[in-house]
Amino acid sequence: MIKHVKQILLQGFILIVGTVVLAQEGASTETQNISSNTASELASEDSTEIIQYEQFLRVIENTLEEYYKDYASTDAQTDSIIKALGYDDKDVPDFADSVYCMRLNALNEMSPFHLDCNDDVVSVIRFFAKKRRSFTSIVLGRSKLYFDMYEEKLAKHDMPIELKYLSVIESGLRPQVKSRAGALGLWQFMYRTGKYYGLNQNSYIDERMDPEMATEAACLYLKKLYGMYDDWNMALAAYNAGPGNVNKAIRRSGGKMTYWEIRPYLPRETQGYVPNFIAVSYMMTYHAEHNIRAREAKFHDFEVDTVCLKDGLHMEVIDSLTGWAVEDIKALNPIFKTTYIPKQTPMQCIQIPTAYVGKWIEMEDSIYALDSLIYESIPEKEKVAATHQTTTIHYVRSGQTLGHIASRYGTTVRNIMDWNNMRSTRLAIGQKLKIYTNGTPPKQQSNPTKKQASSTTYKEPTTGTLHTIRSGENLWVIAKDRGTSVEELKRLNPGLNYRDLKVGQKIRVK
């Protein structure tokens, strides 16, 4: 529907532009002998036409945006239901079991799923309606970026539209979320399963985090599971636990072939999986009746366009010239593991907010030039470290300082503070810190070998200008405070193990 309207508007636009061009061609023979004064006047008129042309495009874009907002928004309908029910902002409605069952039966009539209404399902719905209201609000907002694409993919494979809710219980519609078991992305693919369905990864990208590619793979996998069991609830159980565990449950149940019959024999998590799916399907449909509004989405699908890159780029450079923040670049392009977008054949394309498309076109050549200027001047060893970063989560233990942690991971206190938006060097036991490393393992806390011990003999200086190491300091911090360089400090302190500075230790700074 949206595409058809867009095509109609664009065809109208092309017709208007074509008419203007033909009119100009017809008039061209009459203007071949104009004077220079007349030419300058026409040049001025051309400038006015360019301004009018830009205004014309803005009108079209704004019209399309308003149309898409009306088309995509359910807020008006939600507001009217909430107003009709007379809810205040803080009301948390509750209903009789019969009401939940009546609504589920209405959903069931339009679905190939068995959306059964039983005590377990009603219990989970009540839990979501009271304790997971914020979650429902958030995923309703996030759904505005993904659900149209989900529905398009599911329709292509002739699969139930309700399967879009599976991604809600898998990831909360977060494409970069990773489970403790290592499952990743909107559809939570394990590495091997993802690879089997064509989701590859390398140092820069992980296709399990690509929304469209992962959704296509999920459709193929779910279609295969449905083909095995000829039952969508059983396919959901197999998606969660694996076909092996479902087959074991069938055997232990004495050959039963429906989810509710084999449920007692499934892993504990899978016993709650289908009830969770039914509850999420219910809440996403009847959220207004429960006085829940969608949290405002950062992006809607109609606010996103695509640009293709002719070379590798660093997101920081794009940010510096267009104002499109690195955080938002990664949010719309979660496939990238770092802030570097590698060059690929065919061209690597990225998603960009429509609000930045004009700026991108204006600054594109400058973006490539600046990226080349900055990163070609970096020594190769530093460039590798900058572009092959991986993320590590460090949990603070008793007695650790930022200096100790920075030394362990071969980085600086300032970097750790910037990565974690810290205003102070104070730490709490158990605090989670995000560390970007170049892929090498952190230093092990073990006794040094004889070779290490012999190579780190260092005598504290007694002459020159000395500095006493304080908590949280490293060479980078000291160099910055003293107006010198890290290399100069290393030259003044030969043999110094700068990765293991001790509080109270003295080093020469001049």
| Of 237, 190, 212, residue with least CA distance to 146 | 212
Sign of CA dihedral 80, 82, 87, 88: negative
**Contacts of the segment 131-135: beta carbons below 8 A, 24+ positions apart:** 132/283, 133/92, 133/290, 133/292, 135/172
Residues 478 and 467: beta-carbon distance below 8 Å = yes
**What b-and-e string marks burial along 221-250, b requiring 16 or more CB atoms within 10 Å of the CB?**
bbeebbeebebbbbbbbbbbbbbebbebbb
3-state helix, strand, coil split of the chain in percent (to 5) is 60, 10, 35
Q: How far apart are CA 419 and CA 338, in angstroms?
A: 13
Amino acid in the structure at residue 420: N
CA torsion, ordered 148, 150, 151, 154, to nearest 10 deg: 160
| Of 255, 17, 287, residue with least CA distance to 125 | 287
Rg (CA), the chain: 30
Q: Does 170 qualify as catalytic in the annotation?
A: yes
| Of 501, 424, 124, 429, residue with least CA distance to 281 | 124
Q: How far apart are CA 121 and CA 112, in angstroms?
A: 17
Choose, from 45, 151, 162, 170, the residue flagged as catalytic: 170
The DSSP line for 489-507 is HHHHSTT--TTS--TT-EE
Q: How far apart are CA 337 and CA 340, in angstroms?
A: 8
**How many other C-beta atoms are found inside a 10 Å radius of the C-beta of residue 291?**
19
Q: How far apart are CA 47 and CA 477, in angstroms?
A: 54
Backbone φ, ψ for residue 436 (5° rounding): -100, 120
Amino acid in the structure at residue 7: Q
Q: How far apart are CA 73 and CA 50, in angstroms?
A: 34
Q: How far apart are CA 160 and CA 387, in angstroms?
A: 41
What amino acid positions are annotated as catalytic residues? 170
